[in-house]
Amino acid sequence: MGFLSSILGVLGFGIGLPFGLVLGFFLFVYSKPKDVQDPVVRPLRELDTEALQDILPELPLWVKCPDYERVDWLNKFLVDMWPYLDKAICATIRSTAQPIFAEYIGQYKIEAIDFEHLTLGTLPPTVHGLKVYETNEKDLVMEPAMKWAGNPNIILVLKVMSLPIRVQLVDLQISAAPRIALKPLVPTFPCFANIVVSLMERPQVDFGLEIMGGDIMSIPGLYLLVQEAIRKQVASLYLWPQTLDIPVLDASTVAVKKPVGILHVKVIRAIKLMKADILGLSDPYVKLSLTGEKLPAKKTTVKKKTLNPEWNENFKLIVKDPGSQVLQIQVFDWDKVGGHDRLGMQMIPLKVLTPRERKEFTLDLLKHTNISDLQDKKRRGQVVMELSYVPFKEDSGKFNDNSDADSGGKASGSDQSSDDIETLSGAGLLSVMVLGAEDVEGKHHNNPYARVLFRGEKKKTKMMRKTRDPRWNEEFQFMLDQPPLHERIRIEVISNTTGFRFRSRESLGQVEINLGDVVHNGRINQKYHLIDSKNGVIHVELRWSTV
């Protein structure tokens, strides 16, 4: 019976196979194709809860969050640039990994570590939305929502006791929301000095790991253990507020030097000055300036008809780099008509000064700075001066108001430390940076400039032609003997005509800023609405630094 059933099975297979092939052929040839129906498109509001829960994780952020922008152009850019980015990123990974690998060679019987294959594959990351933040600082901050389901080919070979062990990364998937800041913005291409990256939440990373052809991630419990270890490691390095700083430009080429101290100069006297004219005596005065500064030089009063003048006059100059700046001293003979004759000059490098120590100098005046030139051996006299360099305190402008009650229940706001009292009573520097304005509009013309008025001084920015949104980025400085706790600074925006008109000047608005807030906080960077302007706004940064 078993033999008979076997024979019948063979015959059935032999007859059924050709019959099925012939039947399938005729059905394929003579059957009519059906029209492909378009998928049913339904708005989200018509979906039930279960369907929404299934589809929402796959929706891009620009659909769910209105503050994220759709950036299809950026994804197209990534697709076109990915072959080149792949090579550049892999080259960076190799150069970074080589020193790390070198540390393990010789340990644990490891003889060599190297990449056998290293490529990120053909699939670039996809940006599902981009949020851009507007800040008052000189930076550009954005948050892209990125997902990457890549096909990388990364094989690492470890040679242990002459046995090669291959470790391969497969099926890599990453979902992350980094914050990328380009700062500071500088006037040197590519116009930002650093890229600062931080993660706003822990990234989702999924991958497989094969060793010698076997997937070790299939071992029970190992997958979750590795996932958690990666999340913790990445979070400890780059989760906000931790950052990854990528320098783009050399700091020395883009550094904007800020004031670091004040140079106190006392011009005491001059001795045996030379005569500028054949007949009569000289009318000398001294001009002081620091190298690397475009500020007007400081001048003493003119002493009439003397070759041994006594001044005893004090001056303050702003120092930005005490290691390289030089004080230039020039003695002139004042004349009513024509240019003033220079009687002599001298220079003092600030690096010879000890901070907060007063030092007296008696200097022989020279014709010029080329001291090796022996053509002019005339004695030009001497000048006697006292110098002291006083650096600003670190965080000197910030005053911490301890207004909270202490543990005993007594208010401690009236108890100020000696440093705080000195901060509120010492000399310092008020820096006013006029960055720009927005929506300033005149009735007759729009050529705005800003004018800063403080303690009777007037300083103004350059004029910007035919614009409602000028960008000045100009800084003005005021050296004060006392902090301006109860004073205000006035900033006006004015339009000036560039041709002949009946109204040559027009006010576009003004603002008065209370400087007490600047003294207590050390720095204020804020936009102010202009008075007498419909929508005008001015952006100002103020700093207070004490010595």
- HEC readout, 382-414: EEEEEEEEEECCCCCCECCCCCCECCCCCECCC
Q: With CA atoms as reference, report the closest residue to 542 among 477, 463, 471, 461.
A: 477
What are 274-310's pLDDT values in tens digits? 887 666 788 899 999 998 887 788 999 999 989 999 9
Share of the chain above pLDDT 70, in %: 79
What are 427-452's pLDDT values in tens digits? 789 999 999 999 998 888 889 999 99
- Per-residue tokens: 148: 């990457």
**How far is the CA of 283 from the CAs of 275, 289, 301, 343, in angstroms?**
9, 20, 10, 10
What are 178-236's pLDDT values in tens digits? 889 998 888 888 888 888 888 888 888 787 778 876 767 667 777 778 777 777 777 77
532 Cβ contact partners less than 8 Å away, ≥ 6 residues apart: 507, 509, 510
Predicted TM-score (pTM) of this structure: 0.64
- DSSP secondary structure code for residue 416 in this structure: -
pLDDT at residue 363 above 60? yes
CA distance 231 to 234: 5
What are 251-274's pLDDT values in tens digits? 666 666 788 889 999 999 999 888
> Strand, coil or helix: what is 441?
coil
The amino acid at 83: P
Q: Is the separation of the CB atoms in 388 and 358 below 8 Å?
A: yes
CA distance 446 to 465: 7
CA distance 57 to 125: 17
pLDDT at residue 412 above 50? no
Angle at the Cα of 191 from the Cα atoms of 190 and 197, rounded to 5 degrees: 85
Query: 264: exposed, middle or buried (C-beta count within 10 Å: 0-12, 13-18, 19+)?
Result: middle
The per-residue pLDDT for 192 is 85
Instruction: Flag the least confident range among 230-234, 241-245, 333-337, 360-364.
Output: 230-234
Through-space distance between the first and last CA atoms of the chain, rounded to whole angstroms: 113
The per-residue pLDDT for 145 is 87
520 Cβ contact partners less than 8 Å away, ≥ 6 residues apart: 398, 399, 401
* 254 bridge partner residues: none
Per-residue pLDDT, averaged over 456-465, amounts to 92
Q: With CA atoms as reference, report the closest residue to 309 among 386, 383, 387, 385.
A: 383
Query: 2: exposed, middle or buried (C-beta count within 10 Å: 0-12, 13-18, 19+)?
Result: exposed
Confidence of residue 501 (pLDDT cuts 50, 70, 90): low
CA distance 4 to 27: 34
- Per-residue tokens: 89: 């990123």
The per-residue pLDDT for 414 is 37
pLDDT at residue 478 above 80? yes
CA distance 382 to 365: 5
Per-residue pLDDT, averaged over 352-356, amounts to 92
Confidence of residue 405 (pLDDT cuts 50, 70, 90): very low
The per-residue pLDDT for 50 is 74
Q: With CA atoms as reference, report the closest residue to 463 among 497, 491, 435, 486.
A: 497
Q: With CA atoms as reference, report the closest residue to 128 among 176, 195, 179, 77.
A: 176
What are 55-110's pLDDT values in tens digits? 766 677 777 777 888 888 889 999 999 999 999 989 888 888 888 888 888 777 77
pLDDT at residue 171 above 90? no
Q: Is the separation of the CB atoms in 48 and 56 below 8 Å?
A: no
Instruction: Flag the least confident range among 127-141, 337-351, 491-505.
Output: 491-505
User: Average pLDDT of the chain?
Assistant: 81
